[in-house]
Every structure is written in C-alpha cells, then in structure tokens.
Amino acid sequence: MTRAGDIQIDTGLGVTAPKGFRAGAAACGIKKTGAPDVAVLVCETDAQAAAVFTQNRVVGAPVLVSRERLSRGRAMRGIVVNSGSANACTGEQGLADAHEMTRLAAKRIGCAPDQMLVASTGVIGKALPMEKVKKGIQAACAALASGPEADEAFARAIMTTDTRLKQAGAQVQIGGRAVTIAGATKGVGMIAPNMATTLGFLATDASVEAPLLQAMLCRAADATYNCLTVDGHTSTSDTLVLMASGGAGAEPVREGSPEAETFAAALAAVCESLARQIVADAEGGTKVIEIRVTGAASEAEAHRVARAIADSPLVKCAFFGEDPNWGRIVSAAGAAGISSGPETMRLMLGGVVIFDRGAPVAADAKRLETIMRAHEIAVHLDLGAGTGEARCLTCDLTDEYVRINAHYTT
C-alpha cells in the first residue's frame, strides 16, 4: 500500500473491488501470443457513468460510439474492451464492428446495447477479426466474477506492450459508510497529455449523479493522466471511464459537500497511482521523471514549459545516460515561449541547485551522480516570473524504446 496525500492506495484493489461489479476476460486470438485480449466489466444494476476521451481528431470507432452514448445521459451497465487492435481508421466497417461488440456483450448480460460502452487498443488500421471477437466476448461474459482473480484477468486482457498489470484502489468514508473507488489502466507508449494515451476503467460503489461524476473525473484526469508524456504522441483511442453503482448504500454525494471533497480526493489519488504506474512501465523506460515548473507568468506558461522539457528528446536522452546536462533543460524552457529569461531562473535536480539566475552553480558531483542513478528523479525549474505552476510526468528515451517502435507492426 502507498499513500497519496491523506488517501491510502492499495494496488491490490481492482475493478470489481467496489460493490456491484463483475469482470471477465478471454483470449480470442487478436494477439498472436495467445494472451487474453477481450474483457468485459459489468455493473449488476444501472450505473451512473462518466468518461473523458482523446482529443486527437483521428479517433477510433469505439471512441465515437462511447462518446455518443454517454452524451444521452442514460445509465450504463458496462463496457466491453479488446486489445491488439485499435479499430481506428477502419471506416464504416470499424464503426459497425464497435456497435456489434456492444450488442454481443449486452445480449449476454441482459441489457440494451446502448447501455454498453466499448473501447479498443492496439495497432491502428487493423480490422477486427469479428468471428474471433464474438467467441471472445461470449467467453469473457461466461467468466464474469468478482474478486482478485477477476480483477487481474481484466487488467491483463487490456494490456498491449505493457509488461505489468496496473491497478489501484482506495476506500473512504461517505456518510458513515465505506466507499471504494478502484480501477485498472494500460499504456506504455504513444502517451501524451490531452487525455494521455491509455485506456482506464474505474468503478465505485458510491452514489454520484452523472453530471457531478463527470466534473470530478475531468478534474482528476487533468491533474494526473493529462500530466503524462512518454513520447509526445496522443493516441486515437484514449478512454477513461468511471461507473458508479451506489452499491455501498451511502448517502448520495452532493456537489459542494464535504463528502464530494472526500470522494474527489480519493478519485484523484487513484488516478495518480495509475498514471505513475504507466510512466514506470513506459516502453523502454528506466527512469520516472517528474518535471515541476513554478514561478511562471501564468499557469498556461507553466504547463507549456513543463511539457516542452518533458517531451525534449535531448533531455530524455540525458536522463537515460544519467548525465546532469542542465543546459538542455533550461534551453527547452526558453524555446517554449516564456516571458522571462535565464536571469530569473533557478533549476534543481533532486533538490540540488545546479543553475541560478543565469549562471551554473557548483554542485557536489557525487551527490548529482547518486541523483541521476535513481529510478525516480525530481526536476524543479522556477522561472521567477510569477505564480503559475504545473508539473509533468515523463520517462527517459532509450534504445529499447526505438527498437520496440521501429518494429511495432513488422
């Protein structure tokens, strides 16, 4: 277990930890490895639902289908997912296949097709092998269960080049009742802010109406998933879904109430854990790097600078080589359209000042070497121009990342 602020995070809790949810998974043959590649998450009753999706103009068919269904405000019953194929840039057939996936899952669990959401991840431009997918959905629905084994099966089935499953959960008190928020996510490459590149599925047994659920999910995503970048590339498939069953029996969470603050804090903590797990498993990555920018003229400027540093191939390569090359960091900031210059900047690596007000600062070489060798490295750049601040989570750029992505489809 870890702590995020005052919230205790349990990475042993998955999508069925909240009351009222079941999950199932199966291997249908989309992945050549024979690994699980179809999963279903189902709420036993009608659930309030919220989601955020990719802001890429090129989107997968499942994103179109799920966006449209959630826009109606109808209660949902679940989501069906496949990995290995993104079902993006697949034309009208891809759209028909996304609808068919929801129809098949809905028939098995006994709900209307438009009460099912759909998500896909994997190679772009690859048509789904629907005969295989049909059998996979049937098998996944037949395997629906609750508990750690079901959680793990679901988390593994959504993986693509991930090397480990990613899940997290938390429990908080709402009106004297224990309420759980938990979920699973995937993603290791093609990751950048604007709903980060990932699929994420969250469940809670709290009672929260859809509009408030949507607002809290947006805030949580902005502070966590949207602060991620592995390679600066926003995907076609990004989907983060949150469903609320109300199964805990707690009083409804009301906007502006202390309970709403408690729930929002727990939701953000779970999302933060999942986001960090993504960066820690980044394709080829060996470092988790947190870029913090303060003293910017505005929050927008701070975000722009943090993203420029985090996305810089030169900065990322320096971290891979464990080289404290601060010139790359300050020059990346300067190229991001800042309102100040080096004369007001102060840069720290792991808490050690190495650049201050336009000039380098002599730092203990051994201490810097220890900082750069660590798995997690903190970078803090104060621009000295205002009160704006932001952060970005990133990783190093390695030869293994190049190898993986040079041969992704061949």
Q: Rounded to whole angstroms, how far apart are CA atoms 187 and 230?
A: 10
3-class SS string, the chain: CEEECCEEEECCCCCCCCCCEEEEEECCCCCCCCCCCEEEEEEEEEEEEEEEECCCCCCEHHHHHHHHHHHCCCCEEEEEEEEEECCECCHHHHHHHHHHHHHHHHHHHCCCHHHEEEEEEEECCCCCCHHHHHHHHHHHHHCCECCHHHHHHHHHHCCCCCCCCEEEEEEEEECCEEEEEEEEEECCCCCCCCCCCCEEEEEECCCCCHHHHHHHHHHHHHHCHHHECCCCCCCCCCEEEEEECCCCCCCCCCCCCHHHHHHHHHHHHHHHHHHHHHHHCCCCCCCEEEEEEEEECCHHHHHHHHHHHHHCHHHHHHHHCCCCCHHHHHHHHHCCCCCCCHHHCEEEECCEEEEECCEECCCCHHHHHHHHHCCEEEEEEECCCCCEEEEEEEECCCHHHHHHHHCCCC
Phi, psi at residue 50, to the nearest 5°? Answer: -145, 160
Q: Rounded to whole angstroms, how far apart are CA atoms 372 and 45?
A: 50
Q: Cite the active site residues.
A: 197
